[in-house]
Amino acid sequence: MKRTHDLLKDVLIDIEKGIKNGINTKIIAKKHNFSPVHLQRLFKFTFKKPLGAYIRYRKLSESLNDLLHTEKKIIDIALEYGFCYEQSYSSSFKREFGLSPNILRKSGQTVKIQPPLHHSDD
């Protein structure tokens, strides 16, 4: 069985690699032979944030570049990052960053994002 440190390191790598590939808690748990609930508890205990919320945050953060530097439609960006509807993307985006994707795009404002988590070797 994998050490907890190695498991969490692999989970973070899986999230980064899967941002545009529909990554979610169930997929990660299945890959590592864990129950989703146990993996979520372990992740929250270690990183002090829910796994699902972290995955959503990473998808939203990565979508910023497309939103600000391309002409892609917001619906296309939403779908590319695994949101089923433009509305769910927009409401998650607004909750996370305080303004809608459309307003951000039009205003060119900057939003503060946190870098991806890394599990240290300590």
Kindly report, residue by residue over 18-77, the tens digit of the pLDDT: 999 999 999 999 999 999 999 999 999 999 999 999 999 999 999 999 999 999 999 999
3-state helix, strand, coil in the chain (%, to 5): 65, 0, 35
> What pLDDT score was predicted for residue 120?
67
Q: What is the pLDDT of residue 118?
A: 83
pLDDT in the model for residue 97: 96
* Annotation: CATH topology of 53-107: Arc Repressor Mutant, subunit A (1.10.10)
Buried (b) or exposed (e) across 86-105, using 16+ Cβ within 10 A? beebbebbeebbeeebeebb
For residue 4, what are the contacts with CB-CB under 8 A and spacing of at least 6? 42, 46
Instruction: Tell me the chain's radius of gyration from C-alpha atoms.
Output: 15
Residue 12 tokens, joined: 């973070």
pLDDT of residue 27: 97
pTM above 0.85, yes or no: yes
